[in-house]
Structure 1
């Protein structure tokens, strides 16, 4: 059986509680009540989740489509840039040999090598011997011919047309020699890759080099 609390004891018990500010007493239920979470999170319905996923998918597909438009032409242009770089190098080597012959007073030769295997491929040099020298006989031949530079094909077919308009496919190598007096062995080098073809015309009397591009 519970013993009733006297009025005096009740008053003494409630005195400390009533000393608190009414605002604090009103805030206590708000703090401890589960109806007021500290970080409320909005509920995401299944419809919203599907909508965001579809939007992201469409964005990814759009990015892929734009990337393919930009990449495919660049892949096709890579061979074109390689062809331009190699043909410019060939013209530069021919002009180098022509100047060297006049300045040194000795015949100067440029060697054009057909497309080489990866194991035998060497870097093109403007003078001296390249790194694919394999024996002393080849070195001696270079010295006698005074080869001042080499051009190594990389995916480009080489044909040669002589002064009699006889044309042949170069399977190994072809050499063009310039003389101190200004002349040369002459001929036309035809460098072709896919649908592009460049003619390098070497004048046999003056040694002058001209180029002309035509589609196959």
Structure 2
């Protein structure tokens, strides 16, 4: 009996389709993770930038400037017009940060460069991302090592 081997069998085609399906789902999961990672990294940079801007505003304008964090609204801001959203997967914890109103915490920066001080710890899915402290005397935003 002579066999005709000019094409692929249905089984071979199904195996290839299953392999392609598995590989494409892995790509989508990987892309989703990288987008989330990028969003949380961008938020961390924006948060540090906002603290630095608040310090700079206090010094240049000669007025107290405050960096606010709302735990209920999941936002942070200097002026209410330009808040940044805290990503849902991001956890923000503070140490030595004063509660100014119910659910609203803040770090104050004074015209002489000093601040009310405190430390902020950012994590995603229980993985620490960034920890920084605001120096009480100088108001500088300084990275912290893992021990705090």
TM-score by length of 1: 0.54
Does the C-alpha gap of structure 1 residues 51 and 192 become closer, same or farther in structure 2, counting only changes over 3 Å?
A: closer
Secondary structure at the aligned position of 1:154 is classed as coil
Deviations 1:69-98 (A, max 9, x none): 322333333332222111111001001101
- 1:108-127 to 2 correspondences below 5 Å: 108-114=65-71, 116=73
Deviations 1:152-179 (A, max 9, x none): 423223322129xxxx9xx822111111
Pairing 1:199–2:131 present: yes
Unaligned segments of structure 1, at least 5 residues: 1-46, 131-148
CA contact 1:98–1:178 (8 Å) conserved in 2: yes
In 1, the alpha carbon distance for the partners of 2:71 and 2:86 equals 5
Deviation of residue 50 (structure 1)?
Answer: 8.7
Does the alignment pair 1:58 with 2:27?
no
Larger CA Rg, structure 1 vs 2: 1
What is the deviation of 1:49?
9.8
Matches within 5 A, 1:118-197: 128-130=79-81, 150-155=83-88, 156-162=90-96, 172-197=103-128
Structure 2: gaps of 5 or more residues:
none
RMSD: 3.1
Q: How many residue pairs are counted as aligned between the two chains? A: 139
Greater RCO (Cα-Cα under 8 Å, separation 6 or more):
2
Structure with higher strand content: 2
